[in-house]
Amino acid sequence: MAVLATASRPWSKFNRHGWSKFGRRQHKLQRDCAVTLPLLRKGAPVSSIAKTWAAELAKAQSVHRASQLYAGRTFRDAQRASQLLGAMLYVASAGLGLVGEDQYVPAYDLTVATSGATIHPQLDAVSASTADWWAALTSALGQPNSLATLATVNRLAIVYVAMPGTYLSMLADELASLPDDVLTRLRIFTSPSWAATAPARLAKQVLPYDDRLETTRFTGTRNDFAQRALLHFLEELNAHRLPMHEAKLAVHASMSKHARRSLPTRAKSTDEDIIELMRREWSAYGGASSRLLRFLRDEALVQCEQARFQGLWRRLHNAMKNPGGSTSVGSG
């Protein structure tokens, strides 16, 4: 028996018809139905913020299967891993707590990432951590210690945790409090940078994947590193059948066969310069955001973090549809 906990931001891209689209499926999830955090007085305690947020969720007019709200490679890879394991799949959500993939929940817009509708400004104002937010959120939603409870109740299950460091930091206090007999059933897949600074009790449960994964067939972005590592663990090594110490040795041996990928030196550019580069190549790449991002990084050798790129691409996309519009930094 197995349980898989992953993390994925809610799908928040809507086309002009008000539909979200991923793969070949479409779901009519209206942007104006997504729950957002209302304005709060500065310095409101985390518990108060969480209660306000829980009240907003309770007022949501519509709900959807969780698997309809999450998209992108991170969630698809997690679904694939759960099928290989025959595991129950859960998403650790900064807005909803721990959510089963078949659970019906409201659309929402809140994250512990540093971009988008982030909770960080509210937390920073009261010197609170994302772990504080998770504790307050799950308490307000009536599911305190949700992942710990899941791991404890399923006494025979191996619990696979595949998520980036931002989300593991949110869950770290809860996971570190697990008793030894439960903790040893964890298999954690995450970035090597988080593993290097993880609480000692959790660090022992991290599988030793590093950036040599990028020279295997399981390549991708930093955002989906954890899920790709898990798939390598399952498909390439079949290591889920091994005890932890043997599984770690198998990962070490596999990584030792690969060299670290040499990264090109990329130049810093202004928003205006990046927009102009994309404008020149827009027709050649059919305006496709994924192809333009690869052009910027691999051919133009320009530094452009994904969240920044998405904002610039949307600005140019709108300007191309409305030739009289502005693509300046302040135009929104």
The one-digit pLDDT tens for each residue of the chain (332 residues) are: 788 889 877 754 433 333 333 333 334 444 447 899 887 887 899 999 999 999 999 999 889 899 888 877 899 999 999 999 999 999 999 999 999 999 999 999 998 987 778 899 999 999 999 999 999 999 999 988 799 999 999 999 999 999 999 999 999 999 999 999 999 999 999 999 999 999 999 999 999 999 999 999 999 888 899 999 999 999 999 999 999 999 999 999 999 999 887 767 888 999 999 999 999 999 888 888 888 998 998 889 999 988 899 999 999 999 988 766 554 443 33
Q: Kindly tell me the burial class for residue 196, based on how many C-beta atoms sit within 10 Å of its own C-beta (0-12, 13-18, 19 or more).
A: exposed
User: Are residues 23 and 75 both part of a single domain?
Assistant: yes
User: Are residues 275 and 245 both part of a single domain?
Assistant: no
User: Are residues 139 and 278 both part of a single domain?
Assistant: no
User: Are residues 237 and 297 both part of a single domain?
Assistant: no
Domain that holds residue 317: 271-331
Query: Is 262 a domain residue?
Result: no
User: Are residues 95 and 151 both part of a single domain?
Assistant: yes
- The pTM for the full model equals 0.78
- Distance between CA atoms of residues 194 and 219, nearest Å: 19
> Among residues 229, 256, 283, which one ends one of the domains?
256
Contact 117, 93 (CB under 8 A): no
pLDDT value for 223: 85
Total domains in the fold of the chain: 2
pLDDT value for 325: 52
User: Are residues 249 and 316 both part of a single domain?
Assistant: no
> Among residues 230, 256, 282, which one ends one of the domains?
256
pLDDT value for 26: 35
User: Are residues 41 and 169 both part of a single domain?
Assistant: yes
> Among residues 227, 256, 285, which one ends one of the domains?
256
Query: Is 265 a domain residue?
Result: no
Q: CB under 8 Å to 130, separation ≥6 — which residues? A: 94, 112, 119, 123, 166, 169, 170
Please give the sequence-ordered ranges of beta strands (E in DSSP) within 143-218, or none if there are none: 158-162, 186-189
User: Are residues 14 and 78 both part of a single domain?
Assistant: yes
